[in-house]
Structure 1
Amino acid sequence: MPILDMPVEKLKEYTGTNPKPDDFDLYWERALAELDGTDPDPEWIPADFKAPSADCYDLYYTGVRNARIHAKVLVPKVHKDKMPALVNFHGYTGNCGNWTDKLSYAGAGFVTAAMDCRGQGGRSEDTGQVKGNTMHGHIIRGLDDEPDNLLMRNIFLDAAELARILMDMPDVDADKVGVFGVSQGGGLSLACAALEPRIARAAVQYPFLSDYRRVWELDMAQNAYEELQSYFKFFDPLHEREEEVYRRLGYIDVHNLAPRIRGKVQMAVTLMDNICPPSTQFAAYNAITAPKELQIYPDFGHEFLPGQEDRAFRFLMEMLEG
């Protein structure tokens, strides 16, 4: 078969290139302590959209740094016992999408939420206020400031906070909460499952936000990862700070967070993906020590994967069997 990155046998052994900072665990302990000290103050606003199977709400809650985060939430109208729940995360620069996208899961009995990432295409606030470059994207936002001010850190914490809000709902079974997403949504699903270890299942397709240095080494720092290249061109053209930059990006690298995941993971990887290179996807998958399953799509890139959404649905429905 054609090879974009490295042979499948090598991909299955690949453990990543981007460094993990020595204080990585302390960094995330400090971040989670900040989240613990943040009152989410959730506000549930009945949505204009109506559906026969679910009550629909615009949820606003407070994330770290006092940003109000928006999510769409659908609550099944009919249920006998405590309900399972799901959180969906969208692709890079996008938003939480239409209500109709979530109705299949709500109709199956899941409380279903979809988050707008702060500062991207939805209705969440971005309180920002970082030093340095904010051009061409969110991966590098805060890179010239203190590591605690990396924007992606705060988005990861927003994801975990939304899962916690669902888990605290009186009609939700906190042991049956899952996450799912594609590209950035896949990366955020992994980050959420890592930072909120009660997440029972994660269904992920070709995750973004993994193994940044590998992307650059493959000369694929373009499209979604363009900001890596633009950062060096504008702010470190001789790569004098290269080691420092990639070490700092290691705080928000999901392949470094993946070993913290405790729930079961289903991941689909694409071998012709020139946006999220295959090795970066495998770096995250291979780092997961929890139960996991893998689907490999040899001929596909960053695109719709036939059958995968149905496979993810069945995988997440298995939570109802336990």
Structure 2
Amino acid sequence: MPSFDMPLAKLLTYQGCNPRPEDFDAYWDRAIAEMKSISPQLELFPSEFQIPYADCFDLYFTGVKGARIYAKYIRPKRIAEPHPAIVQFHGYSASSGEWIDKVPYASLGYSVFAMDCRGQGGRSEDVGGTKGTTLRGHIIRGIDDHPDQLLFRDVFLDAAQLAGIAMDMPEVDASRVGAIGGSQGGALSMVCAALEPRIKRLAPVYPFLSDYKRVWDMDLAKDSYQEIKDYFRRHDPQHKREEEFFTKLGYIDIQHLAGRIQGEVMMGISQSDTICPPSTQFAAFNKIKSKKSYELYPDFGHEGLPGFYDKTFTFMLGL
């Protein structure tokens, strides 16, 4: 069994240690209201990639702060009645990837929407506008400014907005929409379901962006979390603002949003994960109040989890 983190019995009750801001709920209620006030200015363009049984589109919409957000959209042909849909999210710094890994859901008669996170590896815009350091990482983008300027606030809202756009499509049954993704994508699938509670089922895999203080305390602020250590070394070398820093990150800590989820959750958890430690994954899982289950992989780290993607496909058949 992994020795670098807690034993499983303790993981199952762990509630996280990163501070939760006092105005957390008001913060997100205000953010959701801002998102809903925006006209998405939706545009669809036929993609160069096409398949015989579905139409593939490049989809663009306007998110908060005016950024144009890109998503791949696959719509099955010859489906008369409203049908289910999947919203898919990618890992940190990557993109929505290739069309081919979305095709299996379209073969079921499901629409698929796969978003590029703003400013990362795809086509979505990062419109900037924050004061203070931007360093390299998105986790700390806006940390020296008002909490509304945290970049991941905007990414979280993009995820929820895309789900709403999917649900508004006349061909989609809004009551039968699922969310999937791994790492950052796992975090965003949870955020999507928290901010758009009509999401019926979600299957996050080793979610990122959870319990930042725990990552720091474990001396694992490296790899995807390296920017936390870099921030302290360059901008707060004596940690005089450490409490303020982690409290502000609490606004974009997915464990604090997990209690808003209403859909059924099946989470893939990697117990030997040194990038997204298992305690941070369980911090989010343990706060989910809706129907939930987990699939545990004791010997696996931040990597493919054998069989979980087949389980996810079967799980989504229940939409």
* TM-score bracket relative to the smaller structure: over 0.9
User: 1:35 maps to which residue?
Assistant: 35
Cα deviation for residue 22 of structure 1 reads 0.4
- Structure 1 Cα separation of the partners of residues 158 and 306 of structure 2: 30
Letter in 2 for 1:238: Q
For the 8 Å contact 1:255–1:287, the answer to whether it is kept is: yes
Cα deviation for residue 33 of structure 1 reads 1.0
Letter in 1 for 2:148: D
Letter in 1 for 2:42: P
- Structure 2 Cα separation of the partners of residues 79 and 2 of structure 1: 48
User: 1:212 maps to which residue?
Assistant: 212
State the Cα deviation string for residues 89-132 of structure 1 (Å, max 9, x = none). Answer: 00000000001110001111110010000000000011111011
- Structure 2 Cα separation of the partners of residues 128 and 212 of structure 1: 23
Give the TM-score, by structure 2 length.
0.99
User: 1:251 maps to which residue?
Assistant: 251
State the Cα deviation string for residues 229-277 of structure 1 (Å, max 9, x = none). Answer: 1111111111100111101000000000000000001101111100000
Cα deviation for residue 169 of structure 1 reads 0.6
User: 1:242 maps to which residue?
Assistant: 242
Letter in 2 for 1:34: E
User: 1:291 maps to which residue?
Assistant: 291
State the Cα deviation string for residues 267-301 of structure 1 (Å, max 9, x = none). Answer: 01111100000100000000100100111100000
- Structure 2 Cα separation of the partners of residues 192 and 2 of structure 1: 31
Q: Does 2:233 correspond to 1:233?
A: yes
List aligned pairs for 1:75-86, cutoff 5 A.
Answer: 75-86=75-86
State the Cα deviation string for residues 213-243 of structure 1 (Å, max 9, x = none). Answer: 0000000000000011111111111110011
SS of the aligned residue for 1:75 comes to strand
SS of the aligned residue for 1:91 comes to coil
For the 8 Å contact 1:136–1:230, the answer to whether it is kept is: no
Q: Supply the RMSD in Å over aligned alpha carbons.
A: 0.6
- Structure 1 Cα separation of the partners of residues 38 and 80 of structure 2: 33
Q: Does 2:179 correspond to 1:179?
A: yes
List alignment gaps of at least 5 residues for structure 2. Answer: none
Q: Does 2:304 correspond to 1:304?
A: yes
SS of the aligned residue for 2:284 comes to helix
- Structure 1 Cα separation of the partners of residues 244 and 22 of structure 2: 12
For the 8 Å contact 1:54–1:76, the answer to whether it is kept is: yes
User: 1:276 maps to which residue?
Assistant: 276
Letter in 1 for 2:308: Q
User: 1:162 maps to which residue?
Assistant: 162
For the 8 Å contact 1:58–1:71, the answer to whether it is kept is: yes
List aligned pairs for 1:141-160, cutoff 5 A.
Answer: 141-160=141-160
State the identity as a percent. 57
SS of the aligned residue for 1:190 comes to helix
Cα deviation for residue 210 of structure 1 reads 0.3
SS of the aligned residue for 1:84 comes to strand
Q: Does 2:72 correspond to 1:72?
A: yes
SS of the aligned residue for 1:215 comes to helix
- Structure 1 Cα separation of the partners of residues 241 and 76 of structure 2: 51
For the 8 Å contact 1:132–1:144, the answer to whether it is kept is: yes
User: 2:122 maps to which residue?
Assistant: 122
State the Cα deviation string for residues 185-226 of structure 1 (Å, max 9, x = none). Answer: 000000110000101111111000000000000000000000
- Structure 1 Cα separation of the partners of residues 164 and 221 of structure 2: 34
- Structure 1 Cα separation of the partners of residues 298 and 128 of structure 2: 40
Which portions of structure 1, spanning 4 or more consecutive aligned residues, are displaced by more than 3 angstroms? none
User: 1:109 maps to which residue?
Assistant: 109
Cα deviation for residue 2 of structure 1 reads 3.1
For the 8 Å contact 1:187–1:208, the answer to whether it is kept is: yes
Letter in 2 for 1:179: A
List alignment gaps of at least 5 residues for structure 1. Answer: none
User: 2:18 maps to which residue?
Assistant: 18
Cα deviation for residue 136 of structure 1 reads 2.7
State the Cα deviation string for residues 116-175 of structure 1 (Å, max 9, x = none). Answer: 000000000111110111113100000000000100000000000100001001111000
SS of the aligned residue for 2:317 comes to helix
SS of the aligned residue for 1:250 comes to helix
